[in-house]
A and B are shown apart, each in its own frame.
Chain A
Amino acid sequence: MGKFNKSAGSREVPELNTASMPDLVFAILFFFMVTVSMRSETLIVRFTLPTASEVQKLEKKSLVTYINIGIPLDPRLGSATRMQLNDKLAEVSDIQDYIAQEKSRLNEADQQFMTVSIKADENTKMKYISDVKQALRKAYALKISYSARKGEN
């Protein structure tokens, strides 16, 4: 009983050893470097994705090709709906070449699983989307995904 408070000054809190801290941080760093894909493209069109409640996640990012549709960020390029493929504005007629090029990057077994994610602004007219869809059909990119934000509606 009398052991408490025996000698107030003699006990000190031992200092925390931080020598392993860099190792820990490096471990996290390598985890991020391995799992993560860098932001590959800068957007030059502006779009707000529509919302939908029944969205599915797209698995296997390496198999996904993106088509961005919206209004150019640069006002000098006009305010009409345009399409961005690979960092530059493109026309609907360029889709076939683009898909062929993206397909050739994948190995043969994976080509049938290629998915095209259409990221279009919610105010786009369906005429434009339909033209894109027809072009994708001609290019035999039949798996598509209408990109949407998850939300209640």
Chain B
Amino acid sequence: MAKKKKRKTPNLNSSSMADVSFLLLTFFLMTSSMDTDSGLARRLPPPPQNEEQLQKMDVQRRNLMVVLVNYQNQVMVRTQAGDEWYNNIAELQGTGGKVPLKEKVKEFVLNANNRPDLPELIEEDFGPPIGKVLVTPDHVISLQNDATTSYKAYIAVQNELVKAYNELRDQAAKKYFGRSYNELLPEQQEQINKLYPQRISEAEPKDYVQQGGGK
């Protein structure tokens, strides 16, 4: 009061600010999950409206490929052109000297030589760069499994099926657009997808063991 000397406000020391904010930063880094989930996308059919609809799907025999995964994770592939038997998943991927499943699927979907025991070829128009092409729009791959098939084997088989389609699409992309599938524009990818639609049907499992666990 007595003194009229001008008082200076002291500077706030902000050197610890960096430490505090680093602490917060590390906290968020630790608690957040950056990993995005990835997986094989599928679309389920809508539930049946009544019991009769269950049996209503008619597929010509030549258009159908049945892939059966049994309880020992062995795989049987049946088409009208012939059957194939894989004793384990490695064999299915082509290590045991047998034709791998994905080659079988590609041959089935393409039917390049217009064989009568592979899916029907129908000419369709796919727009400018592709034009009219013979494709097999009615083919169906029916994936069936037992009640005790392991999920691992099931995913491995699904993966092989998807791989076959992806390779076909990549081939078509190179042929018609001169680039790999991943580099195409979304509408071009859409065109290629229409050329080789993924037609995988996941049937309900057959419970061969028939142990009395009623649902």
The residues of A with any CB-CB pair to B shorter than 8 Å are 18-19, 21-22, 25-26, 28-29, 32-33, 36-39, 50, 52-58, 61, 64, 66, 115, 117-127, 129-131, 133-134, 136-138, 140-150, 153
Contacts and interface: CB of A to CB of B under 8 A. Distances in A.
Interface residues of B, number: 49
B18 A56 contact: no
A148 B40 contact: yes
Interface centre among B155, B158, B207 (most CB of A within 10 A): B155
30 contacts: A18-B18, A22-B18, A29-B28, A37-B33, A54-B162, A57-B36, A57-B38, A58-B41, A117-B37, A122-B150, A122-B151, A123-B150, A125-B149, A125-B151, A126-B69, A126-B148, A126-B149, A126-B150, A129-B154, A130-B145, A130-B204, A130-B205, A131-B215, A133-B44, A138-B47, A144-B44, A145-B42, A150-B38, A153-B93, A153-B159
Contacts of A56: 38-41
Contact of A146 (B32, B155, B205): B155
B46 A148 contact: no
Interface in B151-172: 151-152, 154-156, 158-159, 162-163, 166
B166 to A, nearest CB: 6
B31 A52 contact: no
A12 to B, nearest CB: 21
Contact of A50 (B29, B41, B145, B156): B156
